[in-house]
Amino acid sequence: MMELEGFRELGLGSESIDALREKGFEEPTEIQRRAIPLLLQEGTEIVGQAQTGTGKTAAFALPILETVKHDRNTVQALILVPTRELASQVSEEISSLRGKRSIDIAPIYGGASMAQQLKRLKRGVDIVVGTPGRVLDHIRRGSLGLSDLEFLVLDEADEMLDMGFIDDIEAVLRAVPEKKRMLLFSATMPPEIMKLAESFMRNPEIIRTQKKDASALSTDQIYYEVRESDKLEALTRIIDREPDFYGVVFCRTKLQCDEIGQKLHDRGYDAAALHGDLSQREREQILRKMKEHQISILVATDVAARGLDIQDLTHVINYTIPQDPEIYIHRVGRTGRAGKNGTAITFITPSEARKFSYIRKASRSDIRREEVPGAEEIIEKKKERIKNEVLASISDDPKPEYMEIAEAVLTGRDAAEAFAALLTSIYKNELDASRYREISAVAPRAKKEKSRRERREEARNRERYDRISAPSMDEEGTTRLFIARGRKDGLTKGMLANIIIDQTGVRDEDLRDIEINETSSFITTPFSVAETILKAYSDRSMKGKPIVMRAKPEGGARDGRKNRSAGRREVQKARGRRRKQWEDDYQPYGRDTSDGDDGRYRFPDRKKGRRRK
């Protein structure tokens, strides 16, 4: 059978086939098999539903590379992505697929040098990969000419909408020529996505790939039940047991990332922490070292790791339990790719057993329970590894100059003792079992049969919680906030979301119904989020009044307080007061709007001395 015949049958040319062979591709994925032939047809537009890690970048990049004319020296394809990291990743992926074709690809995103971007665009670029805010900035400056644009791609469209980029995206869409072909790729298909497609696309082909679940992954899935205080010890044992550990350790917060990364580094491991507080330059340095295997352990948050494309990971470690099945599948799917086996390990504390049981069922995962390996097992594994390393090294013929030294050293000495002394000098206390601290045993929980009353109460609580936390929840569970800034201050929906998320650490999905008026704005949030935001801005005022405060309810203040109290009691009752309110880590990594030397988002200050007329 002809090499890469599956890709040849899709209609790709020899240059693309050569590039795919160089990258080690073997067979096209489902999204590639269905999208590439359509995109090679002139004029076809596509709405594709495909998850991260399914090869969708190659699905749209290969047809674009086949179509772009490299002698024009003008932008012929524009690819919009939600984050800076994804812009760099997609740009690198397209560059690796172009082969020997002279096609210029440029990543354009906020946080990078504007002067360098202007210089590069002026020289001429064929394909631009960028974040919506920075791309729109270049369009308005006139530095990004799109008169010859043939392809406009929205990659991770649902993510861009969730991050509040809809206004910027629509502004970009209105600025591009009508003759262009639009391609839209998204992991999910909410109504907003289809509305966008209806407004700006012409009879697109709809492609929906099968949704991944954890049972379909080539990954050995294990969980250890350990106490919080024993997690680091368990992690080091897992790393030491594997001869070629190369993985990502997922933590819930930035603080925890720094702590675990530093402790691993202090113990001599090649580890680094990756989270939203790092500068773009620091991120790029860490990722480069990881890809070049100078670092073997990356400690990251879910947000910071979004869009990462690191090949051949042997392990994914869930140091903290994922918040839902989708996050679990996404984490686990980072290993065991391209037909290779990987291992996913999750640490759970005794109190998280019920929540983890739900994740296992919802993700349809076959996850087995194991005991943390003992110190003796780790030492035996290390002995075997050292023996293999030594045997591999002595298989080479020794050089004469070293033979002379060996003979001199061994004269009058026992050869075994001398060799053991040499190993001690090289490996030091590597085989010292006392380096490993005792781990407290956690016995498996006996399954307790619930009474009919408990099952009925649990069902009522679940129904009540689902009703309250649904996206269409009514005003009983939410608070409307007033912000004393508006369009007159340069505020947009995306910027307002940026500011609040950056300053308070709340999540994008909890900021709803954003309304920007001339001198003020409004936003709807759940009660607990509102309390977080109000507390964060309690000491920031304008003429003696807080910048952020509760909006007056339509039914009067008394009715509003009554509704809020009732709603809060309902939420707390449904959740059983067990669920944590927020993670302190959600940061909109890669957003374009920022001010201040530290890159943080702030409300625009009103000009001093300005008086209202």
pLDDT tens for 183-218 read 999 877 778 888 888 889 988 999 988 655 555 567
Residue ending a domain, choose from 208, 240, 259: 208
Domain identity same for 179 and 327: no
pTM for the full model?
A: 0.49
Region 71-91: what's the mean pLDDT?
86
Q: What is the per-residue pLDDT for 588?
A: 36
- Give the pLDDT score at 595: 45
Distances (CA, A) of 326 to 25, 341, 390, 399, 575: 27, 21, 44, 56, 20
Which CATH number covers residue 295?
A: 3.40.50.300
Whether residue 82 is found in the same domain as residue 165:
yes
Same domain, 53 and 115: yes
Reply yes or no on whether the pLDDT at 84 is more than 90. Answer: no
Are residues 47 and 180 part of one domain?
yes
Q: What's residue 454's pLDDT? A: 55
Do 193 and 80 reside in the same domain of the chain? yes
Residues 204 and 56 in one domain: yes
Total count of residues recorded for the chain: 613
For residue range 486-524, list pLDDT tens digits in order.
888 778 887 788 788 877 777 777 788 888 888 889 999
Residue 92 has pLDDT above 60, yes or no: yes
Question: Are the C-beta atoms of residues 384 and 392 closer than 8 Å to each other?
Answer: no
**Which amino acid is it at 467?**
R
Query: How many structural domains comprise the chain?
Result: 4
Tell me: do 196 and 262 sit in the same domain: no
* Domain termination residue (choose one: 208, 228, 256): 208
- Confidence check: pLDDT of 574 > 70: no
pLDDT tens-digit readout, 385-405: 888 888 888 777 788 888 888
Inside any domain, residue 443: no
Q: What is the CATH number of the domain that holds 599?
A: 3.30.70.330
Per-residue pLDDT, 579:
34
Q: What is the pLDDT of residue 584?
A: 33
Query: Does residue 135 sit in the same domain as residue 44?
Result: yes
In this structure, is residue 36 part of a structural domain?
yes
Residues with Cβ within 8 Å of 254's Cβ and at least 6 positions away in sequence, in order, are 275, 276, 277, 301, 584, 585, 587
* Contact yes or no for 493/516 (Cβ under 8 A): yes
Same domain, 56 and 108: yes
Structural domain for 402, as ranges: 376-408+421-435
Last residue of a domain, one of 208, 230, 256: 208
Neighbours of 233 (CB within 10 A): 18
Inter-residue contact 316 to 247 (CB < 8 Å): yes
Residue type, 249: V
Q: Which of 301, 295, 330, 331 is nearest to 316 (CA)?
A: 331
Res 135: pLDDT? 95
Highest mean pLDDT among 46-60, 119-133, 272-286, 313-327: 119-133
Mean residue pLDDT of the chain comes to 79
Report yes or no on 442 lying in a domain: no
Is 116 a domain residue? Answer: yes
Average pLDDT over residues 273-278: 82
Is residue 149 located within the same domain as residue 89? yes
Q: Tokens 């665009």: give the residue.
A: 121
> How far, in Å, CA of 343 to CA of 11, rounded?
36
Sole residue written with tokens 């631009």: 128
In-domain check, residue 109? yes
8 Å CB contact between 31 and 48 = yes
- Same domain? For 367 and 268 the reply is yes
Amino acid found at 481 = L
Mark whether 98 and 15 lie in a shared domain.
Answer: yes
pLDDT for residue 161 = 84
DSSP letter for each residue of 274-309 = E-TTS-HHHHHHHHHHHHTTS--EEEE-HHHHTT--
- What is the residue whose two structure tokens read 């910048």? 547
